[in-house]
Structure 1
Amino acid sequence: MISDPFFLRLFGYLADEISQRRYDILLVREPSPDAHWLGRLVRSQRADGFIIVGQSNQHKALNLAAGVYRPLVVFGSELPGQAYCSVGSDNFEGGRLATDHLLRSGRKRLLFVGPAELPQIDLRLEGYIKAHGDRGLPVDPGLILPAHFTGTSAYDQVRHATSSGLAFDGVFAASDGIALSAIRALEASGLRCPEDVSVVGFDDSDLASQSRPALTTVRQNVPGIAAALVDHLFRRLEGQQTVSSVLPVNLVVRESAPPP
């Protein structure tokens, strides 16, 4: 959803970067399942270039458009067979950092909560798995819970996990919003964060530092992402070739998952 706090923040920085170059911004949300939707949008000549925010399940549509249209940049992960230029965070390392922090602090059984079937989130799950492997620990598939970014699914999943007796003492959430929903579910179940269950999110949205407890999270460099997306786009508008970029992330330790 466009109203998601992370995307609102990213759109703000994108607007600043584009406005500084004296261009206008057209915001379009296109939910069509037809893989040719982006090609139709390009042919409409409504814009000089396109920044696509998020890949979701639209990898085929992005590849089709990129094959014939150069001024196109995507916020997301590099995928096999990718024909388009992308800019994204190091989601794998973010997942590894978050999970390793929880394990180093003494947590033994960690939930992963999020839509792991989506690009970017799948890499966060791979980082979660890698951190377990680095410490010689198995991953219990029953601790990987699917949840959407919006709605109550994350709350419902964690609430069901506690009520069903699933044993866990840590949560790595695929976004800050999911993490905050998980904390609410824990509190509704009579559990305390971080005393009983530590929680780590992903993004470092404005809500992360303002929540109670303040949220430990993986920080994406949103200003840097926006600047790289716009720089790549304008270079491509000038006919230059650009390669995909992966920006580093870092762990911000706060109250919800204190240090060891």
Structure 2
Amino acid sequence: MLAPVPRPPGSFAVRCSQALLAPRSRLSILALLLLSAAGLVLLYEPQRLLSSGWPPQTSGADAVLLFGLAYGVCTAAFVPRPVLNLAAGALFGSAAGLTAAVAGTVLGAGIAFTLGRFLGQDALRPFVRGRWLTAADGQLSRHGFRSMLAIRLFPGVPFAAANYCAAVSRMGYVPFLLATAIGTVPNTAAYVIAGAQAGSPGSPAFLFSAGFIVLSGLGAAVVAWRKRHALRAASGSPAVAPDPAPAQEREPVGTA
């Protein structure tokens, strides 16, 4: 009877690590993380900051820093940014609130981009097919900064969706984070000022910020409608008409 061939040490650990590092396994880990984050958001309700306020034992620069860190984690966990921006203004005022909100926005975008890049890109890249997905992927990959800057300036694209779509593309970290930091300032500032001036809704600052929010939302809706109309028109355009004469009815070349 032949003796069993001894397995090399660490083979089981190697197989486990290979299975965990497989693209589908990493995508499953990403889905589990996102579902857990969404569950924690529903459980703890971070939007209660608007009603209950910030813990009194933290104040000053430490409170702004802590809020920025919490903001970043919350945005990566799908907490709506308008709620957090209003809370930043209500808790810290316009200047400090805007600093915390922009820093938290960049942090949250970086967290989501990192998770999507390392856990989801390899598994999702094969599904980037079709005319429009391929065009969007090429636009983000080749013109990352200006594409992401346009997405951030118009609030019609969900923040989390833009983060993970950019992660699946071949956009670099620096263009993504830089475009996020610049492009989110106008809309973020409008919400932060509205939150800071919520106690005096008749003030010019509150009216200006509220008007900017409404106009930017309407502008995003118009751009989305025109884009959708253009895509429908392009998809419904007639293709090149085929030759009406079948191949067998065509006159052969070179016959008398």
Taking structure 1 as the reference length, the TM-score comes to 0.26
Higher strand share: 1
Which structure is larger by alpha-carbon Rg, 1 or 2?
Answer: 2
Taking structure 2 as the reference length, the TM-score comes to 0.27
Higher helix share: 2
- Relative contact order, higher structure (CA 8 A, sep 6+): 1
